[in-house]
Structure 1
Amino acid sequence: MTSKNLVKVLEESLQDLRDKGLYNQIDTLDEANGPEISIEGKKVINLSSNNYLGFATDPDLIAAANKATEEYGVGAGAVRTINGTLKIHNELEATLAKFKKTEATIAFQSGFNSNMGAIPAVMTKKDAILSDELNHASIIDGCRLSGAKIIRVKHQDMEDLRAKAKEAVESGLYEKIMYITDGVFSMDGDVAKLDQSIDICEEFDIITYVDDAHGSGVMGKGAGTVKHFGLSDRVDIQMGTLSKGLGVVGGYVAGKQVLIDWLKVRGRPFLFSTSLTPGAAAAAKAGVEKLMTSDEPVTKLWDNADYLKQGLVNLGFNIGHSESPITPCIVGDENLTQQFSTRLREEGVYAKSIVFPTVPRGTGRVRNMPSAAHTKDQLDRALAIYEKVGKELGII
């Protein structure tokens, strides 16, 4: 029999979220996640997808997935360490290593799994991790699982990083110390100051780890934020996803061969969960190869992102300090943010509200994610709707 207390507590908690404007309604798409989508039969301009380059519906990636599925089957059939490593997995990892300019890579089932696997495999309760205070939830959870001492560093504050790095090293309490940061921060769109933070870490011999989930396929001609700063040979561990810029699913860690060899024997998601489907691995490989042969997708993405940003700023919206295609329209009040998102959708723009706990209380925003697949006409229509709804609600 279901516990009455559990049901009561959950119902009350859900109602509390609804009352505070913090409840997230999950919508179901009627079709593929492209620049325009249909939800409940209504066509809307899609500004909520992480499908930065439009690769989720790219014919070449679809063909690669279909071919691999016919050759290898719909699933790998086992974890990588038993007999779930197929030739296509090795080909994907070799292609990623070439793209990232590292000795080797390891593919995981998701970006979240990559952080959950890599951080605890490298760090232990004998160690300390310096972590930017706005790092992604998967980094936070990975750090917690490691058992290491977590030292929060003020967001993008290099003086605070230096002071805490010096204190941690001079304390003599830790066997190893790591600094971990997002490459591109997913809620504000700002880019990590890797050119400064890596210098500090090298000064104190601190391990460096960059989560480039939102930099993969976006920064550094698609190769990521580390490549953008020319630091491929100076960052110890790079994490990236196959699900955003590349439009498929999965994640990976790139670095020295010895690091990858270690993760293959100690990365728990790699060891205990069935590997990527052959179709996903082949599609991701095709996406990487496309980026290695042409700058066009990334150039188009940035052109559209700059166009949308300037249009929103001209209308009077607060887009914060975004330095990437991620473009928030910061509203503040959670209920007004939810209302804003709802009205945008009613008028023909799908841009999801982002509220606490994803962002701090009082900083609710609607997050826009333009892609290379959007046309200028679609962006112009979106801006016209933003102007109408923004004025209607008193946001601009």
Structure 2
Amino acid sequence: GGRNSDLSFNLLGPDLDKLSEYADGVIRRLSSNKGIVDVDTTLSNRKPELQVQIDRPKAAHFGLRVTDIANALHTLVGGDIVGTYKEADDQYDVWLRAEAHDRGTQEALGEVMVRAGTGSRFPLSTNANASEASLVQLANFVKLEEARGPNQIDRFQRQRKVTIVGNLAPGYPLADAVQNVKDVLKEINLPPEYQVIFTGRAKQLVETFQNFLIAFGLAMIFMYMILAAQFEHFVHPVSILLAVPLSLPFALITMIALREPLNIYAIFGLFMLFGIVKKNGILQIDYTNTLRARGLDREEAILQANRTRLRPILMTTMMLVASMIPIALGTGPGSGGRASMAKVIIGGQMLCLLLTLLVTPISYSIFDDWGAGRFFLIRRRANRKGAVSASAAPVSVPVATR
């Protein structure tokens, strides 16, 4: 870890060798994508080490366990604190460790003597059983091999991990890179005990999508509650909010056409767009209800209200678009984020303006009938007419003649 990269994710699993194999496969496939560059892994097997291969049957024959051999080597090579020494006000640790010439080479470690048949931590234990046991040379049941290993073994959630990092080419979206990584992992078909966790900006992107859906749902609920309290009606807010989801596809089409990534600033622009679309619907519905209260029938009130409110809606839209153009074309520090927000508002508002002007009055008329129960009356009348026509229809009865 520790690298400041555009794309980073962790491979988790129990076996470090398998993790290294899977990481090499992922890097090889990601390197073929020109949008992802500088692909590398934090696992570098470059540190020289001496690996101990234990012949377990032979070790068991001498009455030795793996922990006995590991503890003996740990004490002789790495050292252990066996006490403290105090001189005046200073306190020093007392280390037990083999001399440098007895632990510095592979041959020297092979000549290490371990007391057979003991389970003690130190090979030279003084208990009664250990005194009767014989000393065994380590080379009799241990094979020492020179190899290269990782500088450190990282863990995440108590599992071994390998971090894969990479940077993005100019203009390549992070969302496409994340999807490319998921496709590569499907090709490799990782076993169930191995998993992938995105970190850094990729993790923030995934969390942003999830939080956006939650925030969108909560926004719709709270807007409905406020509008229901304002209009003192449970159906009219639905006709206003029906135009809000319709603005989302137009905003996404704008981002695709302008090749803008869906970042946190674009999401801010989406929520501003939702508020503007809702405001237009409030202007239409509120004045329609005012005209109906003055005695106009519904169809005439809808036509007159939309004709009257068209000018302020157009003026507000044009003023908003004109004010967002300098932000969308601006340069300088932080201009990229502000430009994403402005472009979403400009494209989404201009494309969904005509549709919302048509959807709001139509939905108002439909939901007004539904709220008044006219759909059920029309259906009931249709059923009555069908029953009457069926009863009034002439019935031909065949008459038998002799």
Q: TM-score, normalised by structure 2?
A: 0.17
Q: TM-score, normalised by structure 1?
A: 0.17
The structure whose Rg is larger is: 2
